[in-house]
Amino acid sequence: MEVQYLYPGIKIIEKPAIFYYQTEINQLLSLIVNTFYRKKEIFLRELISNSSDALDKVRYISISEPSILNDEPDFYIHIIPSKANNSLTVADSGVGMSKMDLINNIGTIARSGTKRFIEALQQGTDLSLIGQFGVGFYASYLVSVKIIIYTKTTYDHYYAWESLTGGSYSITRIGPIKNFGRGTRVCIFLKDDQLEFLEERRIREIVKKHSEFISYPIALEVEKIIEKDVVDGENKNEVVVEGKSDIKTQPKRIKEVKKELEILNKQKPIWMKRIQDITEEEYISFYKTITNDWEEYLSKKHFIVEGQVDFKAILFIPKRAPFDLFDARKKSNNIKLYVRRVFIMDNCQELLPDYLNFIKGIVDSEDLPLNISREALQQNKILKVIKKNLIKKVIEMLFELSCDNDDYGKFYEAFSKNLKLGVHEDSQNRSKFAELLRYRSSKCPDESVSFKEYISRCGTKQKNIYYIIGENVATIKKSPFIEKLISKNIEVLFMVDPMDEYCMQQLKEFEGYKLVCVTKEGFHLEEFDENERKKFDELVEQYADLCTVVKEIIGDKVEKVVLSERIEKSPACLVTGEYGWTANMERIMKAQALRDSSMSSYMESKKTLELNPYNKIIQELNRRIELDRTDKLIRDLSHLIFDITNIVSGFSIENPTNFSERISRILELGLNISNEKPYPKRNTYKKNGNIDYWNGLNSYLHKVD
C-alpha cells in the first residue's frame, strides 16, 4: 500500500503503521458525510473550529507551563491553497497530537465501534466529547480524495496521518518540518469537482460567514503581483553627445508573484469585551457589519446571562421595516447563532418567535449542545431557556425605548403590527405587549395614548376601556356609536389598523379594566346614574311595540331590535354579536381573495338594530305605530332607516338599487316634482292643512320595497 506525502524531501523516521477501520466504516462515513452535512463548505468551518479548540488548549496549558510556547510562541490559523496540488491546508499552532492522540482522536469511530457510534448519534450524544476533531473532521470527506495530517506536540515527535483506500489509514513518524514547531496541519486533496474551494474569493466568503469571530487570527495565503526593478547589462540605452558615447543603464521593470498571508477575521467579537469598554461607534460598525444596513440602529440591548445557561447576546432594533417583513416565504436570518464564536446558523426559528422577526443581532453560547454537526440544534430545554431570556430582554429594550417619545414614535410606525401580533400570540407576555400599544382617542385625536394613560383619566365609576375599530380616524370621529360616551366626557380609543381586530380578540382586559368594543352588543353604560337608568327603563317599556313592529318588518336581516344606550343624535345603529365580526372586520375579510366563505357565514353573526328614542324620526315612527300599526308608511320608513344605518355603521347594503330608488323618490317628493298621484291624507295626519304624501293605501314609499 503506497504512502505519499505533500512535502517533498520529508524524512521518514519509522515505517508507516497501517490501521484498518471496521468493515462497516464506509457505510458509517457515508452516513456522516451525506446525512448530517447539507452544505459542503462546512468542512472548512469545522477544521477552523478544531484549530481554535487546539489553540484554546495550548493557551490554557501555557498558564501553568510557559515553556510549552518555546517552540512556537505565536497563536495562528493559516489557510494555504495550492492549485498546483489541488490541495487546501489548514495549519495551526495549537497543542498538536501524539501518536496515541491520532489513534484515539482520528480513529475514534474505529475504536468505539460502528454500532455504538450510531446509537450515540440516535441518542443525541454531545459528540464534541469525541476527541479534538470530533465528527466535524469527517466533513472533509465531502470534498476530498485524500487527507494528510501533520502534527507535533511539545513533548513528542513529528507524525503524519494519511487516509488510505480500502477503509484504512497510516501513521508515520517523520523528521522535522521547517517552520513548524508545534501544532497541526490538515492537508485536503480536493476532488476535481470541488476545486472552487481553492479560489480566494470562495475562502474569504466562507470564513466571513462562519468563522469571522474566532478569537485567533485566521490568515489566508494569497498571491500578490508586485513590480520589481532589474538592472540587466544587455538592456542599456546608449546616448551619443557631441561625438562621445555615453552609456547609461536604465532599470527594467518586471512583474513578480509574491505569496503573503492576509488576515481575514479583522472584525473582532465585540460581545466578548466588557460592556462598559465598547464605544457607540463600535456598536454601530458591528451592526452594519452583521446586517448590511446603511443606517444606524434605533435601539440596542447588550447583555450576558449566567446561571442555568451561559450566553452573550447583542440585539438591535432597526430604524426601518423591510418591505417583506411579513412575507411567509422569506426565511428569517436576523439572529446569528454562534457557539464559542463559531457561526452555526442565521435562520434559527427557535431563538425568537415570528412576531419579533424585526429584531437583529447575535447570540453566542458557550455550552449549547449540538447534534452531529453544528448545523442542527437539538430541541431541548436549554434552547427554550435562551429563547425565554431573549424575549424578556427584547421587552425590556422596548420599554426603555418607549421613554423617548420621538424614537418610540418611529418604532411604532414601523413595527406596531409586530406588537399586536405579540398580544395575539403570546399569552404569557400579553399584558406587557399591551402596555406598549398606542392609540389616538376622542380626547387626544392628534396624539397617541397608552392604556395606562387612558386609565389615569378614567372617572371613579368607570371600569371599562372603551374602543372603536374603523377604517380611519375621520370616519370614527363621526360614528354614532360614540355619541353618548362623548357627551358624558368618557374617552374612546380609536383603532384603525386591521391588525387591531385580531389583537382585540385576545386582549379582554388590562389591569382590571375590561376592554369594551362600542360597536358590539352587550354595551351598558356603568356611568348611568340612578335617575338616568330609571328613565331609560321607562323608555324601553314605552317603545316596546316599536321594536316589535320594526323587527317584523326587517325580518331575518337582524336578530333583534332594541333601544340604544350608546347613541344620542343618530336615529339608529347596527351592532354585531359579542363574538362575531365587527363591520370593519367583515369589510377586511370580504376583501380577501382566497377567503373561506363557510367561515364568513359563521362569523357574520346576526346584527342587532338599536334605535335612539331621543331622535325625532324614531319618535315620529313610534307615534304612527301607536296610532295605526298597519300604516304602510311604517314599513317603508323602517326599511329606509335600516339601509341608512347599515351605511353609517360601516356595513354594506344588500340591494343598493332599491335603496337608490327609494332615495330618488324622496328627493322627488321633497322637490315637489313627483309624477305620482299622492293618496289623500287621513284626517288623523292633518298638519297645517298640507297633503300627507306618506300615508294611505297607496303610500308613496311602499312602491319601493
For 300-321, give the DSSP string: EEEEEE-SSS-EEEEEEE-SS-
Q: Which residue did the predictor score with more confidence, 705 or 585?
A: 585
Cell readout for 580 is 362575531
Question: How far is Cα 566 from Cα 531, in angstroms, rounded to an integer?
Answer: 17
Residue 242 in marked binding region:
no
Q: Are 637 and 704 in contact (CB under 8 A)?
A: no
With a cut of 90, say whether residue 565 has pLDDT above it: no
Q: Are 573 and 619 in contact (CB under 8 A)?
A: no
| Cα distance from N-terminal residue to C-terminal residue, the chain | 101
Q: Which residue did the predictor score with more confidence, 379 or 318?
A: 318
Residue 79 phi/psi, 5° resolution? -115, 120
- Assign 279 to helix, strand or coil: coil
With a cut of 80, say whether residue 451 has pLDDT above it: yes
Tell me which range, 22-31, 428-437, 663-672, is most confidently predicted by mean pLDDT: 428-437
Examine the domain organization and report whether 379 and 451 are in the same domain. Answer: no
Examine the domain organization and report whether 155 and 285 are in the same domain. Answer: no
Residue 97 in marked binding region:
yes
On whether residue 277 sits in a domain, the answer given is yes
- What is the structure's pLDDT at 685? 43
Residue 135 in marked binding region:
yes
Q: Are 455 and 464 in contact (CB under 8 A)?
A: no
With a cut of 80, say whether residue 556 has pLDDT above it: yes
With a cut of 60, say whether residue 308 has pLDDT above it: yes
Residue 473 in marked binding region:
no
On whether residue 544 sits in a domain, the answer given is yes
The residue among 409, 416, 411 whose CA lies nearest residue 437 is 416
On whether residue 645 sits in a domain, the answer given is no
Q: Which residues contact 48 (CB under 8 A, 6 or more apart)?
A: 77, 79, 90, 207, 210, 211, 214, 218, 342
Structural domain span for residue 349: 270-394
Examine the domain organization and report whether 443 and 368 are in the same domain. Answer: no
Q: Which residue did the predictor score with more confidence, 94 or 698?
A: 94
The residue among 466, 572, 571, 473 whose CA lies nearest residue 522 is 466
CATH classification of the domain holding 71: 3.30.565.10
CATH classification of the domain holding 328: 3.30.230.80
Examine the domain organization and report whether 386 and 284 are in the same domain. Answer: yes
Residue 105 in marked binding region:
yes
With a cut of 80, say whether residue 136 has pLDDT above it: no
DSSP state of 637: H
* Tens-digit pLDDT profile for residues 349-406: 778 898 998 999 999 988 775 543 444 554 567 788 899 999 999 999 999 999 998 9
Question: How far is Cα 401 from Cα 390, in angstroms, rounded to an integer?
Answer: 16
* Tens-digit pLDDT profile for residues 465-515: 999 988 889 888 989 999 889 988 999 999 998 889 889 989 999 999 999
Q: What residues does 173 pair with on adjacent strands?
A: 159
Residue 137 in marked binding region:
yes
Question: How far is Cα 483 from Cα 390, in angstroms, rounded to an integer?
Answer: 45
Residue 132 in marked binding region:
yes
Q: Which residue did the predictor score with more confidence, 327 or 478?
A: 478
- What is the structure's pLDDT at 126? 45
pLDDT band for 691, please (50, 70, 90 cuts). Answer: very low
On whether residue 11 sits in a domain, the answer given is no
- In the sheet that 464-469 helps form, which strands lie side by side, from edge to edge? 440-441, 492-495, 464-469, 513-517, 509-510
* Tens-digit pLDDT profile for residues 592-636: 666 666 666 655 667 889 999 999 999 989 998 888 877 777 887
The stretch 660-684 carries a mean pLDDT of: 66
pLDDT band for 683, please (50, 70, 90 cuts). Answer: very low
Residue 385 in marked binding region:
no
Whole-prediction pTM value? 0.74
Examine the domain organization and report whether 368 and 454 are in the same domain. Answer: no
- What is the structure's pLDDT at 28? 62
pLDDT band for 520, please (50, 70, 90 cuts). Answer: confident
Examine the domain organization and report whether 86 and 180 are in the same domain. Answer: yes
Examine the domain organization and report whether 124 and 207 are in the same domain. Answer: yes
Q: What angle do CA 434, 435, 438 make, to 5 degrees?
A: 85
Examine the domain organization and report whether 21 and 169 are in the same domain. Answer: yes
Q: Which residue did the predictor score with more confidence, 666 or 641?
A: 641
On whether residue 249 sits in a domain, the answer given is no
With a cut of 70, say whether residue 251 has pLDDT above it: no
- What is the structure's pLDDT at 381? 74
- What is the structure's pLDDT at 688? 47
Tell me the percentage of the chain whose pLDDT exceeds 70.
79
With a cut of 50, say whether residue 426 has pLDDT above it: yes
Residue 24 phi/psi, 5° resolution? -85, 5
Examine the domain organization and report whether 480 and 584 are in the same domain. Answer: yes
- What is the structure's pLDDT at 588? 74
Q: Determine which of 91-105, 261-275, 620-634 has the lowest per-residue pLDDT on average.
A: 620-634
Question: How far is Cα 641 from Cα 618, in angstroms, rounded to an integer?
Answer: 9
On whether residue 62 sits in a domain, the answer given is yes
Domain boundary among 341, 369, 394: 394
Q: Which residue did the predictor score with more confidence, 32 or 456?
A: 456
- What is the structure's pLDDT at 580? 73
With a cut of 60, say whether residue 693 has pLDDT above it: no
CATH classification of the domain holding 584: 3.40.50.11260
What is the average pLDDT score of the chain?
A: 81
- What is the structure's pLDDT at 246? 54
Residue 696 in marked binding region:
no
The residue among 517, 338, 498 whose CA lies nearest residue 424 is 498
With a cut of 60, say whether residue 689 has pLDDT above it: no
Please count the structural domains in the chain.
3
Residue 689 in marked binding region:
no
Cell readout for 510 is 388590562
Residue 280 in marked binding region:
no
Examine the domain organization and report whether 327 and 186 are in the same domain. Answer: no
Residue 57 phi/psi, 5° resolution? -65, -45
Residue 166 in marked binding region:
no
With a cut of 90, say whether residue 182 has pLDDT above it: yes
- What is the structure's pLDDT at 27? 61
Examine the domain organization and report whether 491 and 368 are in the same domain. Answer: no
pLDDT band for 110, please (50, 70, 90 cuts). Answer: very low
On whether residue 542 sits in a domain, the answer given is yes
- What is the structure's pLDDT at 10? 81
Give the amino acid at 82: S
Residue 112 in marked binding region:
yes
Examine the domain organization and report whether 100 and 162 are in the same domain. Answer: yes
- Assign 135 to helix, strand or coil: helix
- What is the structure's pLDDT at 135? 60
- What is the structure's pLDDT at 76? 94
Domain boundary among 580, 607, 634: 607
On whether residue 640 sits in a domain, the answer given is no
Domain boundary among 558, 578, 607: 607
